[in-house]
Amino acid sequence: MTSQTIPEARVRSAPDLGVLLTGAGALLLVGSALLPWAGYAGFPGKMTLSGYPGGARLYVLLLALPALALLRPLPGRAAALRAAANVELAVVALTVYFVAYAGGGFVNVGGGVYPAMIGAILYLVGSRRLPTSEAVAEGVALPDASWRFPVESLVVAGTAGLALWLFVIGLGMPSSSIASGSDLTLGPLSINDVANSGQFLAYVITIAGVALVAGRLGLLKSLTIMTGRHPKLFVAAGFIAAAAFPFTQNGSGESLSIAARIGVFAAAAVGLNIVVGLAGLLDLGYIAFFGVGAYFGALVSGSVTSVTGVHLPFALTIVLGGLVSGIFGLLLGAPTLRLRGDYLAIVTLGFGEIFRITVNNLDGSAGPSLTNGPNGVSNIPDLALGSFNFGANHTLFGIDLSFQSNYYWLELLLLAFVMTSFLRLSESRIGRAWVAIREDELAAAATGINTTRLKLLAFALGATLAGAAGTVNAHVVKVAAPDSFTFIESATLLAAIILGGMGTVPGALLGATVLYLLPEKLRFLHDLRLLVFGIALVLIMRFRPEGLVASKRRAREFHDHETDPAAEAVA
Amino acid sequence: MSVLEARAVTKRFGGLTAVKDVDLVVNEGEILGLIGPNGAGKTTFFNCLTGMETPTAGDVTYKGAPLPKRPDLITKAGVARTFQNIRLFNNMTALENVIVGRHTRTKAGVFAAVGRGPRYHREERESEQTARDLLTFVGLGRVGDELAKSLPYGDQRRLEIARALATDPGLLLLDEPTAGMNPNETAAAIDLVKGVQARGIAVVLIEHDMRFVFGLCDRVAVLVQGQKLLEGSPSEVQSDDRVIAAYLGKPTEAETAGDKQ
């Protein structure tokens, strides 16, 4: 210990070992992305070509790019590179596994796999040796200049567009040859199915990884600042991008059909968010209200299998379906909302099951003939608004649009309505009263809130929105049958809002998307998918209890103690 | 003129009579102290007045009209309260806590909230302004955006008072407003309660800090084992042997004899 200047000088003359290792790993990874990874044809992404970073190699390349940060000491650099290296290793391992598995053994992998594996390990080891600084990357706000508005608008709108574009790519990725919605007892999967699943997983992990790296570099904070300054622009850009989606499908309807179902699912999740996220009432039978709407929509749709034979215009159906469902909500809520917490959850769980069993038995033999029992009300005809037939393909601006785009747009409108209602309610006198009840019911009553009435209102409103979504869903899937309204559906909806973030709209959207899409894309796991699903939920609850997109309030609820000392020091 | 009149209020829990035949009159604009040893039934009496408990017998009138049964209706009628163990909406900001207090004095329903017409916006603005004024009044003007749970203890008590004041009460019931406070905070609390009185609001407070009670209250009522022992000016109560006996117990014959020697 002679002087402290010597180590510093050494750092300047010879770079740190961590920097060297990380850089070498990243270079190897970039190189490997240009070499073939599969020694056989058939794996998606043209993985046999050299000099072309297709398929999962693109993700490998993308995750090696943060190593460019080695050239300049950015705040949060080490943390960002560690995250990138973790995810990179996962993507490489996963892809190698799937390439080997689909190729019939490790002998059939291409030459690019070896440098990739070595590179990923070097990357990981190197990033762990990087000198860490205490500085956490803070979001940077743009200076108040004349160019700030156009730049920020562009970033905000671009983000909304990018998010949807990524979603669309994921949606369009071939998952498996099995038609979605079929049962899980399938025969052996083809090589292609397995390979496609691997591609999709790598894609999802890469997106999560890039988001993580951006977060560590403080870019997400900057983005939050900017979207917070232009919220309307952000929403409008997202909505326009979503509305433009059908024009990119070249007349195909497969992705649109899935997207429409996700939309309906998301609308129901946002409705449930009122009940659970705002008012704090745990409702485990929520899908029953969705079911009431679906059956109502089916019975008045003019379907040949409907015993009523009534055919109402759809605009009326959706309003009445919501109202009928809301009345069911009142009927169930009035006696049960005196219960709290677990007891309410059990009663609502029971209601959900009663609904399913009842519609299963209203087939004329065990009860009045209304629902066709287990067969449900099927052959629901396509919607028609005036002379516009939802079941026909159309051409707009010279672009072919499949009939699914009509339902997709209908669902988008529904979602926009539900989202607006939720957002406006949550920031109103009613929404504040709900949160107050959730926080402390006795104090809320002492503050002048009629707790029974407000809880009932939340319950009925949630039911109404679910009912409206149900009528739309009946027309999208063309059938209302009891087995669509099982407990697992309620649980999945609940999981969607907990995973996404309680009490937020983007959270409910993201949660609904992930929870709808993952099981669809993970069918190759057969029954294991529920296990994987469960593990994923446990991990998220462990590491991000406030959900993926946390409301300001929930984020502070869970993390305020971490920032408190700093705040006190400032004050 | 009286604001609140409680006549023969009794509350039994099974075989235990927590409050027995208590009469209490609160006059307009006065500060009334309610004291008594632990377990005397003070908080239960408060609960009976605010609908948290239903009295077994007796009746209560507020400004001449019988008090409603439900807590929210009682608050709407004009009787607000705070709690012995602070009950704030912890994960709402201080400002939001006070705005919630405006609930009974505002009207916007579901349709107004979704539709957001000019009337809705006006009401929201008014609620926020009232809440900010009240925060300033209790001395929390600068912490409106803090979460309630992250405020220091003394501030939380003040916030609870601001929330109660937001309901535009004619009578404010404070349950141990200085519990857990240091002398500085207690001194500030005296000013705060006097400020509330200056707004024309009658105050009833349960308190164990005798300096606080006798320095602040216009009248003091003593509750012992569920019954009202006496009621009078601070000096009357202070000099009454029965009150001292209730708190400290009666000296036995032998001790009395010993003292005289």
Q: Is A448–B70 a contact, with Cβ atoms under 8 angstroms apart? A: no
Q: Please report the pLDDT score of residue A527 as a whole number.
A: 67
List residues bridging with B19 in a β-sheet. B11
Shared-domain flag, residues B123 and B156: yes
Shared-domain flag, residues B175 and B245: yes
A429: nearest CB among B90, B108, B147: B108
Instruction: Return the residue in B74, B76, B110 with the most chain A beta carbons within 10 A, the one to mutate for interface testing.
Output: B110
Shared-domain flag, residues A171 and A86: yes
B96 neighbourhood in chain A, CB within 8 Å: 432, 435
Q: Is B92–A435 a contact, with Cβ atoms under 8 angstroms apart? A: yes
Which range, A120-124, A212-216, B160-164, B232-236, has the best average confidence (pLDDT)? B160-164
Shared-domain flag, residues B162 and B116: yes
Which residue type, as a one-letter code, is found at position A137?
A
Are the C-beta atoms of residues A435 and B89 closer than 8 Å to each other? Answer: yes
Query: What is the dihedral sign for C-alpha A290, A291, A293, A298?
Result: positive
Are the C-beta atoms of residues A270 and A422 closer than 8 Å to each other? Answer: yes
How many CA within 13 A on the CB side of residue A532? 13
Domain total in chain B: 2
Shared-domain flag, residues B175 and B254: yes
According to DSSP, residue A281 is labeled: -
Q: Could you give the CA distance from residue A103 to residue B235 in angstroms, rounded to a whole number? A: 97
Three-class SS state of A118 = helix
Three-class SS state of A443 = helix
Q: Please report the pLDDT score of residue B75 as a whole number.
A: 93
How many CA within 13 A on the CB side of residue B43? 12
* Residue A194 belongs to some domain of the structure: yes
Tokens linked to A260: 């429409």
Residue indicated by tokens 């009142």: A330
B143 neighbourhood in chain A, CB within 8 Å: none
Tokens linked to A242: 């979503």
A560: nearest CB among B108, B150, B163: B150
Residue A452: closest C-alpha in chain B? B72
Confidence class for position B253, pLDDT limits 50, 70, 90: low
Chain A: closest CA distance from residue B24 (Å) = 21
Shared-domain flag, residues A216 and A309: no
B102 neighbourhood in chain A, CB within 8 Å: 429
Shared-domain flag, residues A341 and A293: yes
Residue A447: closest C-alpha in chain B? B101
Q: Is A439–B101 a contact, with Cβ atoms under 8 angstroms apart? A: no
Phi first, then psi: give them for residue B78, nearest 5 degrees.
Answer: 130, 15
* Residue A186 belongs to some domain of the structure: yes
Chain B: closest CA distance from residue A451 (Å) = 8
Closest residue by Cα to residue A37 from A119, A145, A127: A119
* Residue B87 belongs to some domain of the structure: no
* Kind plus residue range of the DSSP H or E element containing A98: helix A77-103
Chain B: closest CA distance from residue A166 (Å) = 32
Q: Could you give the CA distance from residue A69 to residue A437 in angstroms, rounded to a whole number? A: 48
List residues bridging with A480 in a β-sheet. A377
Radius of gyration in angstroms for the set of CA atoms belonging to chain B, rounded to a whole number: 20
Q: Could you give the CA distance from residue B78 to residue B172 in angstroms, rounded to a whole number? A: 8
Q: Please report the pLDDT score of residue A6 as a whole number.
A: 45
CATH, residue A494 = 1.10.3470
Tokens linked to B147: 């979460």
Q: Is B70–A432 a contact, with Cβ atoms under 8 angstroms apart? A: no
A446: nearest CB among B81, B96, B150: B81
Beta strands B2-13; B16-27: pairing state:
antiparallel
- Section B173-184 average pLDDT: 89
Are the C-beta atoms of residues A156 and A51 closer than 8 Å to each other? Answer: no
According to DSSP, residue A140 is labeled: P
* Residue B84 belongs to some domain of the structure: no
Which residue type, as a one-letter code, is found at position B142?
R
* Residue B65 belongs to some domain of the structure: yes
Beta strands B65-66; B202-206: pairing state:
unpaired
B91: nearest CB among A433, A461, A553: A553
> Domain range spanning residue B6?
2-78+169-260
* Residue B72: how many other CB atoms lie within 10 Å: 23
Q: Please report the pLDDT score of residue B198 as a whole number.
A: 93
Shared-domain flag, residues B74 and B99: no
DSSP per-residue codes, B90-138: TTSBHHHHHHHHTGGG----HHHHHH--HHHHHHHHHHHHHHHHHHHHH
Q: Could you give the CA distance from residue A268 to residue A294 in angstroms, rounded to a whole number? A: 12
Residue at which a domain ends, from A178, A207, A225: A225
* Residue A236 belongs to some domain of the structure: no
User: Which residues of B have a CB under 8 Å from any CB of A?
Assistant: 50-52, 70-72, 75-76, 80-81, 83, 87-92, 96, 99-104, 106, 108-110, 112-114, 116, 120, 123-124, 127, 147, 149-150, 163-164, 167
Q: Please report the pLDDT score of residue A571 as a whole number.
A: 33
Chain A: closest CA distance from residue B16 (Å) = 24
Q: Could you give the CA distance from residue A105 to residue A244 in angstroms, rounded to a whole number? A: 43
- Section B158-177 average pLDDT: 93
Residue B78: closest C-alpha in chain A? A448
Instruction: Return the residue in A447, A551, A563, A568 with the most chain B beta carbons within 10 A, the one to mutate for interface testing.
Output: A447
Q: Please report the pLDDT score of residue A564 as a whole number.
A: 40
Shared-domain flag, residues A434 and A312: yes
Q: Could you give the CA distance from residue A402 to residue A245 in angstroms, rounded to a whole number? A: 12
* Residue B189 belongs to some domain of the structure: yes
| Helix spans in B15-117 (H) | 42-50, 71-77, 94-101, 110-115
Residue at which a domain ends, from A225, A244, A262: A225
For chain B, counts of helices (H) and of strands (E): 11, 10
Cα-Cα end-to-end distance for chain B:
51
Residues of chain A with pLDDT under 50: 1-13, 176-187, 562-571
Shared-domain flag, residues B103 and B62: no
pLDDT at B193 over 90: yes
Q: Could you give the CA distance from residue B31 to residue B179 in angstroms, rounded to a whole number? A: 18
Closest residue by Cα to residue A544 from A267, A139, A211: A211
A461 neighbourhood in chain B, CB within 8 Å: 110
* Residue B67 belongs to some domain of the structure: yes
Residue at which a domain ends, from A206, A225, A244: A225
Which residue type, as a one-letter code, is found at position A398?
G
* Residue A485 belongs to some domain of the structure: yes
Beta strands B31-35; B219-224: pairing state:
parallel
List residues bridging with B223 in a β-sheet. B228
Where does residue A381 rank: exposed (0-12), middle (13-18), buried (19+ CB within 10 A)? middle
Q: Could you give the CA distance from residue A116 to residue A97 in angstroms, rounded to a whole number? A: 13
How many CA within 13 A on the CB side of residue A208? 15
Radius of gyration in angstroms for the set of CA atoms belonging to chain A, rounded to a whole number: 26
- Give the start-end residues of each E strand in A457-521: none
A560 neighbourhood in chain B, CB within 8 Å: 147, 149-150
Chain B: closest CA distance from residue A32 (Å) = 50
Shared-domain flag, residues B71 and B142: no
Shared-domain flag, residues A312 and A354: yes
Query: Bigger pLDDT: B43 or A194?
Result: B43
List residues bridging with B227 in a β-sheet. B224
Q: Please report the pLDDT score of residue B173 as a whole number.
A: 94
Q: Please report the pLDDT score of residue A251 as a whole number.
A: 64
Q: Is B76–A448 a contact, with Cβ atoms under 8 angstroms apart? A: yes
Shared-domain flag, residues A401 and A494: yes
Residue B105: closest C-alpha in chain A? A448
* Residue B86 belongs to some domain of the structure: no
> C-alpha angle with apex B134: B133 to B135, nearest 5 degrees?
90
Shared-domain flag, residues B36 and B145: no
Chain B: closest CA distance from residue A433 (Å) = 6
Q: Please report the pLDDT score of residue A569 as a whole number.
A: 37
Query: Bigger pLDDT: B256 or A2?
Result: B256
Q: Please report the pLDDT score of residue A525 as a whole number.
A: 65
Chain A: closest CA distance from residue B73 (Å) = 7
Going by C-beta distance under 8 Å and a sequence separation of 6 or more, which residues neighbour residue A568? Answer: none
Tokens linked to A68: 């460019």
> Domain range spanning residue A82?
13-140+156-225
* Residue A38 belongs to some domain of the structure: yes
Q: Is A564–B109 a contact, with Cβ atoms under 8 angstroms apart? A: no
Instruction: Return the residue in B46, B87, B104 with the most chain A beta carbons within 10 A, the one to mutate for interface testing.
Output: B87
Chain A: closest CA distance from residue B78 (Å) = 10
Chain A: closest CA distance from residue B54 (Å) = 14
User: Which residues of A have a CB under 8 Å from any CB of B?
Assistant: 420-421, 424-425, 428-433, 435-436, 439-440, 442-451, 457, 461, 553-554, 556-557, 560, 564
Residue A458: closest C-alpha in chain B? B110
Domain total in chain A: 2
Shared-domain flag, residues B253 and B174: yes
Query: What is the dihedral sign for C-alpha A106, A110, A111, A113?
Result: negative
Q: Could you give the CA distance from residue A494 to residue A328 in angstroms, rounded to a whole number? A: 20
Shared-domain flag, residues A90 and A179: yes
Tokens linked to A424: 């406006």
Shared-domain flag, residues B175 and B159: no
CB-defined contacts A:B, below 8 A: 106
* Residue B201 belongs to some domain of the structure: yes
* Residue A66: how many other CB atoms lie within 10 Å: 28
Q: Could you give the CA distance from residue A160 to residue A230 in angstroms, rounded to a whole number? A: 12
> C-alpha angle with apex A301: A299 to A302, nearest 5 degrees?
95
Closest residue by Cα to residue A482 from A401, A349, A362, A390: A362
Q: Is B92–A449 a contact, with Cβ atoms under 8 angstroms apart? A: no
Q: Is B110–A449 a contact, with Cβ atoms under 8 angstroms apart? A: no
Shared-domain flag, residues A179 and A292: no
Question: Which tens digits make up the pLDDT trace of B78-113?
Answer: 999 999 999 999 989 999 999 999 999 988 888 888
Q: Is A436–B92 a contact, with Cβ atoms under 8 angstroms apart? A: yes
Residue at which a domain ends, from B166, B193, B213: B166
> What length does chain A have?
571
Q: Is A443–B89 a contact, with Cβ atoms under 8 angstroms apart? A: yes
Q: Could you give the CA distance from residue A134 to residue A76 in angstroms, rounded to a whole number? A: 8
Query: Bigger pLDDT: B183 or A104?
Result: B183
* Residue A463 belongs to some domain of the structure: yes
Are the C-beta atoms of residues A245 and A168 closer than 8 Å to each other? Answer: yes
* Residue A247 belongs to some domain of the structure: no
Q: Could you give the CA distance from residue B48 to residue B53 in angstroms, rounded to a whole number? A: 5
Shared-domain flag, residues B141 and B220: no
* Residue A148 belongs to some domain of the structure: no
Are the C-beta atoms of residues A497 and A507 closer than 8 Å to each other? Answer: yes
Q: Could you give the CA distance from residue B55 to residue B39 in angstroms, rounded to a whole number? A: 17
Q: Is B113–A430 a contact, with Cβ atoms under 8 angstroms apart? A: yes
A425 neighbourhood in chain B, CB within 8 Å: 110, 113-114
Residue A467 Cα distances to A121, A127, B199, angstroms: 52, 52, 49
Which residue type, as a one-letter code, is found at position A334?
A
* Residue B20 belongs to some domain of the structure: yes
Are the C-beta atoms of residues B172 and B196 closer than 8 Å to each other? Answer: yes
Shared-domain flag, residues B97 and B29: no
Q: Could you give the CA distance from residue A135 to residue A132 in angstroms, rounded to a whole number? A: 9
Query: What is the dihedral sign for C-alpha B222, B223, B224, B227?
Result: positive
Instruction: Return the residue in B54, B75, B91 with the most chain A beta carbons within 10 A, the one to mutate for interface testing.
Output: B91
A556: nearest CB among B51, B147, B164: B147
A429: nearest CB among B76, B83, B103: B103
Closest residue by Cα to residue A57 from A96, A106, A87, A105: A96
Q: Could you give the CA distance from residue A246 to residue A403 in angstroms, rounded to a whole number? A: 10
CATH, residue B220 = 3.40.50.300
Q: Could you give the CA distance from residue A178 to residue A184 in angstroms, rounded to a whole number? A: 10
Q: Please report the pLDDT score of residue B81 as a whole number.
A: 93
Residue at which a domain ends, from B166, B185, B203: B166
> What is the signed CA dihedral for B31, B88, A346, A471, rounded to 10 degrees?
110
Residue A449: closest C-alpha in chain B? B72
